[in-house]
């Protein structure tokens, strides 16, 4: 009897044991059950598994929500599914407009196929409106429009609480070269412009967001691409009319209604399936 992953249930052995397999059986595509895949990394919100081909990974979105460097933690049913869908929508649009990303395609409700990259250990934050730590540090009222978009870098290191760093630190410690910082900033501005427009069209203000970048090797060539995820977990999104928060601040600030807010973001971006849209608010339907 084989044991399955976490449930403790047992499943009977398959009818054809290894010895009885037909000779060319190895040519058939093989489905690798979740619990047999090689787990490369488990983070706070996602798990990375080895992908089907070299240079690929499977990014699995969990329902875990963390804040304040994981001091606050909760499991919120359905969050991973929504982030997978929203991030897929954003990354495939970025690919379409020529902003290079790690994203290949979505595989199922919780997983996507991505290219493995060498993650640059920086959280790149782009801000359009004052909020969060910027408001606290500089005494700016939340919601103040910034004179221009501001890019900030944080060193990705949980043990140190992701401290803010300057270009001087980044180059001195070799986390990225000056040329790479230029590329990262150019990408950050393109992503910010694209996302600002995308959300504006959905009646949502992009206050700020975080992105991660990685080095993608193609033979001898290397280029910087956008990696990780872009979702309401990593953006501040405010409803333009009501100013309601539609992002992870609902969790950080114990406001509740996180799933409802993420679902509304997905609905406004037009990425929910027809049956998920069903209901009185779904609008006119074709009568068959
Ligand atoms: N394309 C990629 N290749 C390799 N690593 C990646 C890629 N995209 C994201 N990652 C890394 O995978 C991890 C995703 O899991 P997450 O739960 O967000 O982790 P963390 O708790 O470290 O933020 C992150 O550490 C991120 O840097
Ligand atoms: Mg992360």
Residue 12 clears pLDDT 70, i.e. is over it: no
By residue range, what is the domain housing residue 222? 118-257
Q: Is residue 62 part of a domain?
A: no
The answer to whether the CB of 120 is under 6 A from ligand 1 is: no
Between strands 145-155 and 164-165, the pairing is: antiparallel
- Domain presence at residue 4: no
User: What pTM, to 2 d.p., does this model score?
Assistant: 0.85
Q: What is the mean pLDDT of residues 53-60?
A: 97
User: How confident is the model over 27-46, as a mean pLDDT?
Assistant: 78
Question: How many structural domains is the chain composed of?
Answer: 1
Closest to 130 measured CA to CA, from 232, 238, 246: 238
d(CA 269, CA 199): 8
60 lines ligand 1 (CB under 6 A): no
Q: Which atom of ligand 1 is nearest to the CA of 102?
A: 1
Query: How much is the average pLDDT of 38-62?
Result: 97
Does residue 75 lie in a domain region? no
CA of 200 to the centre of ligand 2 (A): 25
CB 73 within 8 Å of CB 82: no
| pLDDT over threshold 80, residue 22 | no
Residue 142 maps to a domain: yes
| Spacing, Cα 116 to ligand 1 middle (Å) | 10
How many whole angstroms from its chain centre is CA 259? 16
Query: Does 229 reside within a domain?
Result: yes
Sequence-ordered list of residues with C-beta below 8 angstroms from that of 155, at least 6 positions apart, any chain: 121, 122, 162, 163, 164, 165, 169, 175
Is 194 inside a domain boundary? yes
Within a domain: residue 203? Answer: yes
The pLDDT assigned to 162 comes to 97
CATH at residue 149: 3.30.470.20
pLDDT confidence bin for 98, thresholds 50/70/90: very high
Exposed, middle or buried by CB within 10 Å (0-12, 13-18, 19+), for 10?
A: exposed
Confidence of residue 272 (pLDDT cuts 50, 70, 90): confident
Residue 287: pLDDT over 80: no
43 alpha carbon to ligand 2 midpoint, in Å?
7
Per-residue pLDDT at 42 exceeds 80: yes
Of the candidates 40, 41, 94, the residue with the CA atom closest to the CA atom of residue 229: 94
Segment 223-247 shows an average pLDDT of: 98
């Amino acid at each position: 009897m084989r044991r399955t992953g976490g449930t403790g249930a047992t499943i009977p052995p398959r009818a054809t044991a290894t010895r009885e397999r037909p000779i060319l059986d190895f040519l058939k595509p093989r489905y690798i059950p979740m619990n047999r895949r090689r787990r490369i990394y488990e983070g706070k919100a996602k798990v990375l598994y080895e992908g089907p081909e070299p240079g690929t990974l499977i990014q699995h979105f969990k329902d875990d929500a963390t804040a304040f460097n994981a001091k606050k933690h909760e499991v919120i049913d359905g969050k991973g599914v929504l982030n997978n869908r929203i991030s897929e929508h954003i990354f495939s649009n970025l690919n379409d407009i020529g902003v290079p990303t790690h994203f290949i395609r979505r595989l199922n409700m919780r997983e996507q196929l991505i290219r493995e990259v060498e993650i640059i250990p920086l959280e790149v934050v782009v801000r359009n409106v004052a909020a969060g730590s910027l408001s606290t540090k500089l005494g700016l009222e939340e919601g103040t429009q910034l004179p221009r978009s501001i890019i900030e870098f944080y060193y990705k290191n949980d043990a140190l609480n992701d401290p803010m760093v300057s270009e001087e630190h980044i180059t001195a410690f070799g986390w990225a070269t000056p040329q790479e910082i230029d590329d990262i900033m150019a990408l950050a501005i393109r992503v910010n412009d694209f996302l600002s427009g995308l959300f504006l069209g959905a009646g949502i203000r992009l206050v700020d967001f975080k992105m991660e970048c990685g080095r993608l090797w193609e033979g001898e060539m290397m280029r910087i691409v956008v990696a990780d995820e872009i979702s309401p977990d990593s953006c501040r999104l405010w409803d333009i009319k009501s100013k309601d928060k539609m992002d992870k601040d609902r969790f950080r600030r114990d406001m509740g209604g996180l799933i409802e807010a993420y679902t509304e973001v997905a609905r406004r971006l037009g990425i929910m399936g027809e049956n998920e849209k069903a209901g009185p608010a779904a609008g006119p339907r074709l009568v068959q």
